[in-house]
Structure formats: structure tokens, C-alpha cells
Structure 1
Amino acid sequence: MNAGFSVDTGVLLAGVLLLVGVVASGFTSRLRIPSLLLFLGLGMLVADDGLALVRFDNAALAQNIAVVALVVILFEGGLGTDPGAFRSVGAPAAALASVGVAITATVVALVAWLVMDLEPTTAFLLGSVVASTDAAAVFAALRSESLPTRTQQLLQLESGMNDPVAVLLTIGVLETWRADPGVTDWVWFLGVQLGAGVIAGLLVGRLGRWMVDRVSGTAAVSVGVVTLAIAGISYGAAAAVGGSGFLAVYLTGVVLTGSRRASRGVLYFHEGLAATMQGVLFLMLGTLVFPSQLTDHLGVAIVAAATLILLARPIAVALVLLPWRMPLRRMAVVSWAGLRGAVPVVLATIPFTAGHPDGAVIFNVAFVVVILSVALQAPTVGALARRLGVVGDERVRLRSEIIPVDAHDADLVEIRIPDDANVPSTTLRVSPPPAGARIAVIHRNDATVVAHGDTTIEAGDVMLIIAPRSSDLDEIERWGQSFVAPEAEPEPE
């Protein structure tokens, strides 16, 4: 008798690989080796050309799994984006995400056509596939680097918004190969992708924010699941009307950030989920490729990667950001930090599954371009920024965790003062919490301290603050930040 299922071995192997990847990434991070590259390597190791433990050659299924993973990653990226970034760098980010992608695709395509002697449609498909920066790779790289706030926001917004244009170019060139779409078709497709994506993202985000702010009772425990459902609705609603679901889900995350109780209370949940999906995504993409076939197109891939990194991206950044008079040093960092990741590989599955004669070539070249981008650019972004003097504010910043206490119509706010913070010697009588908030207890060096007027805050303290539901949680966090460092001066243009 056998009570097992056919999927049992696969579940065991997936769990082991994820665990190995996560544990190993802790060691590789010390060597500045991106964990995403490690998961790609693990995938290739267990696939047909490696240990042959997994056979996975279903590009259509891989495309669907990748879309789900990107939805989760983009939503978490939106939750981590300051809505004020749209006011400060929204215009240049939108220009990079649209005109910049088109310029990048054109330059790569022309070199592939005229220098590498690829067929015109193959060349332009390749340029379109690798033209957009990847949210997963960019968000992962920026978490470990200290760049100026505006530069970091610019890269985040660009990577969150540029997928629709890359999709438009890829599908447009593919349709040109199949038929002959006119200018009107191109304009209509782009308009619907962007317009429906923006409208669906903002509308679902506003409705979701209203809903999350009113979640109470037992449902409050599942706010993370509620926001994940909202992300799925945002993507599906936009896609149902022909819009860009990727753009929609990113904007929904940004809008939900305005609901501080929701976004901060579940941000850790989504960060962990997004990190898991990144590992799954790159692990799966590694199993999909055949390393023995990569060598057949290695020369083309290296030339394409060099063209993209050293020519196309710098030209696009320089031309697009010229009206904003961005310093050349900062342009150089923005150009180098335009990482490629899962999105180009996912887009490369479109011509592959559509039956294009060079679909396999495009996929293999795009895969090598991604490997080179992640391996060469991601570990060196910080070093380049420091070398050029494009570094951010090194102040220690705290993060707060908010837990709703619905029975008492209040919030329990936990504020952790970092261990290495330079805390001023100020009593709570001199610097009390904002009106309506009270420090319930302070956890200090494995001891519990009941706060009073003469209590001073020390590095490493964990403050538990009770605040009415009507309190301004931003004000409470600013008060907590005052024990770490003074308010930063606005970054110059």
C-alpha cells in the first residue's frame, strides 16, 4: 500500500533548496554575491544539465508562476515606496520608465541587427525584452545600499513603472512579425495598458485603504492576507480590461502605504513573502534553462550585455534626465543601478511560447544578460556610488510596528531604538510622547522599566506605547526618531 502523492518528492526538494538558498545567502552576502544569483545557480544545478533531479521545461507554466511572483514583489515594492516620491521624482521616473525603455530597446536592437547580424524582428525582440529594469533585483540591491533619497526613489519608481512599456514593445514587435499592426494599434495598446493600469491601481488602492482602515475583530489578525488579496484584485482588474496589472499592483501598494496601520503592521509580512517569491522565481528560472545551450549563444549574449550596460542604458539615462540637470556622477549611478532580473526572462518566454523561430535564442541570450547584470552590477552599485560621492544619509533610522487593539479602540506601537544609536540624554518630562500617547513599558537589557518623567531613553530600548486610534502615528514615529537623530535637511535638487 502506498499513501503518497506524486508531488511529495517535489515538495521535499523545493523545501530543501529554499532552505539551502536562504542559509547560503547569509554567507554570500558577506562576499557581496547577490542571493538571486545563488538561487539561479541552485536551479541550474538540480536541472537536466546538472544533477538531473528536476525536469522542468514548461515555459508557459513558468511564465504564469513568474507573473504571480512579480505581483507579490511589485506590491511589496509599492508598500515600501514613500508616496511623496511621486512629487519629488515622479516626472523623471516616468520619463525613464517610458522614453528611457524605448531608447534602450532601440540601441540594443540596432547593435544586435547591424553588428551581430540577427534578423530584424529577432533583434528588436531582444532589445524589447531586456530594456526594462527589474523591480525584484533593484529593490533587493537598494535595501543594502545607502544612496541619496531622491536617487533611491527614482530607481524604485522607474523599476515599478517600466514594465508596461517593455510588454508593449515585446508584444508589438511580435505582432509585427505575425501581422502588420498600424500606428493606431500601437497607440491604443499603450494607452489602454497605461491608462487602465493607473486607474485600476489607484481605484483599488483607495478602496483597499478604506477597507483595511476599518478592519476590526478577528479579521484584524489577517490584515496581511487581506492586503495580499487586494493586490491580486488590483492585478486581475487591470488585466481584465487590457491594462497593465504590474503597474496597477505597484500603485495599489503605494496607495495602501497611506494607511499607516495597515502598511506598517504588515510590511514585515510582505517583505518576507516577497523575499520568498524572489527565491522561488529565480530558482524556477534556473531549472528552466539548459546551460549546455547557453554556450551556443554566449558570444551574442556577452555583446548584448555589454551594449545594454555600457551603451544603451547610459545613453537613455543621459538623454532622459538631461532636462532635470542631474549631475553626471548621479547619472552614472542611476545608469549602473539599472539592474536586469526576472522581468527580461519572463518577457523572453513570450516569443518562445508564441512559436517565434528564434524564441530559444532570445530566451538564452536574455538569461545570460540577466546573469551578467546581477553578477556584475548588483555587487558594485554601492562601491561606485561611494567612489563618486553619491551616498545617502547615514543616520540610524528606527522602524515601528503597529498592532491594533480593537477591544479598546487603540493601537499598541512598538518602537525599537537601535543598539548603535547616539541617543541624547533627555528625560521624558522634557520630551514626552505626542498628546494622547503613553509609554506603557520599556524593555531594557532583559529588564522591564516603568516609564516616568525622569526616565531617559537609551540605545537598545524597546518602547511599548499605547495610543488612541485617532492618534497620528507619523507624529509618534517622528517623536521616536528624535531620540536617534535630528530631522534631516531636505536633499538638494
Structure 2
Amino acid sequence: MQTPVIIIIIGLFIFWGHYLSGVFERRSIPDVLGLMLIGMLLGPVFHLVEPGSFGSFGSLFSNLVLIFILFESGTDLKISEVQSSFKESAGITTLGFLVTWATISIMCLFIFKLPFLSCLFIGSTLGGTSSAVVVGLVKKIAVRPKTATTLIMESAETDVFTLAIPLSILGLMITGNMDPSIVVAQFIASLVVALLIGIGGAFLWSFILNKTPNLKTTKFSTPAFLFILYGLTEYLNFSGPITALSFGIAIGNLQYFEPKILERIIPNQSIVLPQGEKDFFSELVFLLRTFFFVFIGISVQINRLDWLMWGAIITLTVFAARIIAVILIVARDTPLLDKAVMSIMVPKGLGAAVIATLPLQRAHPDGVIIQSVCFAVILFSTLYCVGLFFLTKTGISLPVYRLVFGRDKLTVQEEALEQRGTEI
């Protein structure tokens, strides 16, 4: 394909991404689906682009997306907000992740006969929920503010699980060491060193900004410093992604990490990113995620229909397991509509997609099937979530959920929705 044509296509992709974002706002259809569809048409359907044609750039691109996603996730995670809503969100966050992790891991173990660590990696990667999809959908349905906050905080808090755990498991997969004492030692060493580099790097960067005020006016100096930290950590054979995540969390929550002895040297306010820089990062992440989901579509293995089919079945099982988690953890007097919405909010997103590419990048023998299964679950979880959201919002599925969760007293709105669903 000629260079001018590629440049034109890049421009069209950006406009397509903005258009799909608008569709999401108006129609509650996540842009992920449209981007992956375009990628599938370009790749496995019409074979205009092959994943192998990206060469080493594909690996570099995935790492860049990972760095920015982890950094933005870290800066957006406010410890004060987590503390204030911890009682409401901790239960569904922890139990939801564990149930999903166990469900997917067990199914992969029996269906694909993969090694135990590979199954744990897939399960932990797909154990969370997509913040972009959850936040967008929750705003479009009249659940209680407490329920909306719980779901939004869950999507943010599970990032810690779905990033730290699979990355630690990946290190064990690469080394192939299963000795319990060595495994625990490697896990702790990798995690602690990466955290120290990330948090220590945040202090150092704050100090540098205080000493060189001109850097505060630049927009790319912070990610440039993060690139150095990430590369250094990876070069030392520790977890670069954990460093990126901890650096972002420390940047956004310095007052919770900074020892009193450093307060005079590193003022808290200097490390707070200006709104203009946050907007720049958000736009950059938007561009990266647009191209990355197209890349996912290109990489989907539709020639392995069995993998796609099993991905669809695994996703159905995840939704069923989610209902069990909601029954166990959510108060009985919670409105039926809220329980129904909590049961369907398990779409998988960009973080899971990026993590899923890492085993293949690092030449793990199970890399292809891990990536393919994860991509399939991401696709079907979004499709199922959107479909069930429509059925719930219109009231069509409320009678079914009423059978599942028991005959609690319906709110006036739920009665109206149920009546509307019956008429439809």
C-alpha cells in the first residue's frame, strides 16, 4: 500500500473514531465495536492488511499504548475517592474479579488444555471491567447514584487487579519457574522494585520540575520521563508496566505517598498536572486506543472459528457468574433495576486488550491462543453488554431478573419499565 494512501487512511480512522464516540453518546453503542469491525474487515475478512505486516512496530505500538493507558489510569485513580466509596465498591470489585478470574481460568484449563499459569493469566487479564463502556452506559439509565458510583469505582479499582496480577503471572510464565519459594520471591521482588522505581520516580520528577520551571510549560516532558523509568525497569528485568501504573498513581496522589521529611523539598502542588496537560494526555490516549482497537480487529483469528465460538461461550459463563456475585454481595433491598444493571456491567476493554498481547510479544508458546481468546471475550462481552443493556433499559428483561433475584418490591419506575417491556 502506497504511503499517501496510508496517510489518508490514518486521517479517516481518526474521524471515524470521533464519529463512533458521538454514536456512543447518542445511542449507547460503544465505539469499540465499530473500531474492531473495521479492523476485522481490513484484516481477516478482506486480507488488505496482515498483523505480520506491522513487524516490530506492532510490539512497540502495544507498549506505547500500555504505558499511556497505565499512566492515565494511575492519575485518574484518586485514593480519596476510593476511600470514600470503598465500603460500597470493595465487595463487588473484589468478589467480581475473583469470580470472573476463577470462571475463565477453569474454562480455559478444560477447553484449551493450556498450562495452569497461562489459564491464570487469561482469567486475571479479563477479570475487570471497561471504564469507558461502564461510565458511558451507567449515565444513560436511571439507577441510584450509589449504584452508579459503585460501578464506576469498580471499573477503576479493578485496574489494579487486572494489571498487577497478570503482569506478575507473565513474569513466571516467561521464566517457567514453578518452585513455590522462588516464585514468591520473584513475585515480591518484581513488584516491590517496580513500585519503588515508579513512586521514587514521581518524587524525583517533582523535584526536577521545582528546579527547572521551564519544564512545566512543556506537554511531553512527563511521558518522556516515564519512558525512561519504564525502559530502565524493563532493562533490569522487572515489571515496567507496574512502574508506569505506580508512577501515575503517585503523580495524582503525592500527599498519600510523600514522607514528611520530603515536604519542604518536594511541595505537593508542583506534581499536580495542569488541566491542559491532562487534556493532551486524554486526546493522545483517544488516538492510541482508536488505532489499537483497529489493530485488535486486524489480529482477530476468524479462521479459527472454534476459538471465537469458545470465546462467546466463555463470555456467557462470565455473565452468569456475575449474577451469582451480585446475589452474594448486593443488599437484598437494592432496587431490581440496579441489580440488573450491576449484573450486565462486565464489558472488557483496552487495558485487557493491551495486556493480552504481551505473551505473544515475548515469544511465549501460548501467545497466539492467549491473545485470540482474550480478543474474542473482549468483543463478545461488549456485544452482550450492549444487548442486555438495551433489554434492561426498555424493561424487556426485568421479569427475568425478577425471577433470578427474587420478588422484591418494585419501584414505580421499574413497574413502568416492566409494563413497557410486556407491551413490546
Q: Same fold (TM over 0.5)?
A: yes
User: Cα offset for 1:35?
Assistant: 1.0
Alignment of 1:171-210 (within 5 A): 171-173=171-173, 179=176, 181-210=178-207
The structure where helix makes up a greater share of residues is 2
Aligned to 1:163: 163
Change (3 A) 1:196 1:22: same
1:249 aligns to 2:240 (yes or no) = no
CA contact (8 A) 2:300 2:376 kept: no
Q: Per-residue CA shift, 1:441-465, capped at 9, x if unaligned? A: xxxxxxxxxxxxxxxxxxxxxxxxx
Q: Per-residue CA shift, 1:251-278, capped at 9, x if unaligned? A: 3223323547524342111111111111
User: Cα offset for 1:45?
Assistant: 1.7
CA contact (8 A) 1:113 1:120 kept: yes
CA contact (8 A) 2:109 2:119 kept: no
Aligned to 2:292: 281
CA contact (8 A) 1:208 1:256 kept: no
User: Cα offset for 1:69?
Assistant: 0.6
Change (3 A) 1:100 1:27: closer
Please list every run of 5 or more consecutive structure 1 residues that lacks an aligned counterpart in the other structure: 389-493
Distance 1:290 1:136 in 2: 23
Which of these residues, 264, 283, 288, is aligned with residue 272 of structure 1?
283
CA contact (8 A) 1:352 1:359 kept: yes
* Letter paired with 1:282: F
CA contact (8 A) 2:311 2:380 kept: no
Distance 2:55 2:332 in 1: 41
Please report the TM-score for the alignment, with normalisation by the length of structure 1.
0.62
Change (3 A) 1:327 1:8: farther
The structure where strand makes up a greater share of residues is 1
CA contact (8 A) 1:231 1:249 kept: yes
What SS is found at the alignment partner of 1:230?
helix
Distance 1:304 1:70 in 2: 25
1:128 aligns to 2:121 (yes or no) = yes
1:364 aligns to 2:364 (yes or no) = no
* Letter paired with 2:223: L
Please list every run of 5 or more consecutive structure 2 residues that lacks an aligned counterpart in the other structure: 140-144, 254-268, 399-424
User: Cα offset for 1:240?
Assistant: 3.9
Aligned to 1:295: 305
Alignment of 1:19-418 (within 5 A): 19-50=15-46, 52-57=47-52, 61-88=57-84, 104-114=100-110, 116=111, 118-121=112-115, 125-133=118-126, 137-139=130-132, 141-142=134-135, 145-146=138-139, 148=146, 149=149, 151-173=151-173, 179=176, 181-212=178-209, 216-217=213-214, 219-222=215-218, 224-257=219-252, 259=269, 262-291=273-302, 293-311=303-321, 313=322, 336-352=344-360, 359-377=367-385
Change (3 A) 1:266 1:326: farther
User: Cα offset for 1:18?
Assistant: 2.3
CA contact (8 A) 1:212 1:262 kept: no
Larger radius of gyration: 1
* Letter paired with 1:119: K
Change (3 A) 1:167 1:386: farther
Aligned to 1:482: none
CA contact (8 A) 1:125 1:173 kept: yes
Change (3 A) 1:155 1:137: closer
User: Cα offset for 1:379?
Assistant: 7.5
Change (3 A) 1:309 1:173: farther
What SS is found at the alignment partner of 1:131?
helix
Higher relative contact order (CA 8 A, sep 6+): 2
Change (3 A) 1:352 1:257: closer
Distance 1:384 1:249 in 2: 38
Q: Per-residue CA shift, 1:432-490, capped at 9, x if unaligned? A: xxxxxxxxxxxxxxxxxxxxxxxxxxxxxxxxxxxxxxxxxxxxxxxxxxxxxxxxxxx
Distance 2:203 2:238 in 1: 18
Change (3 A) 1:158 1:327: farther
* Letter paired with 1:366: C
Distance 2:226 2:388 in 1: 33
* Letter paired with 1:185: I
Aligned to 2:403: none
Aligned to 1:443: none
Distance 1:263 1:377 in 2: 35
**For structure 1, which segment, 376-385 or 345-354, has the greater mean C-alpha deviation from structure 2 after superposition?**
376-385
What SS is found at the alignment partner of 1:262?
coil
What SS is found at the alignment partner of 1:53?
coil
Please report the TM-score for the alignment, with normalisation by the length of structure 2.
0.71
CA contact (8 A) 1:339 1:373 kept: yes
Instruction: Give the aligned length.
Output: 370
Over the matched positions of the two proteins, sequence identity in percent amounts to 18
What SS is found at the alignment partner of 1:47?
helix
Once superposed, what is the RMSD of the aligned Cα atoms? 4.0
Q: Per-residue CA shift, 1:29-53, capped at 9, x if unaligned? A: 4221111221111112222522x43
* Letter paired with 1:30: R
Alignment of 1:445-456 (within 5 A): none
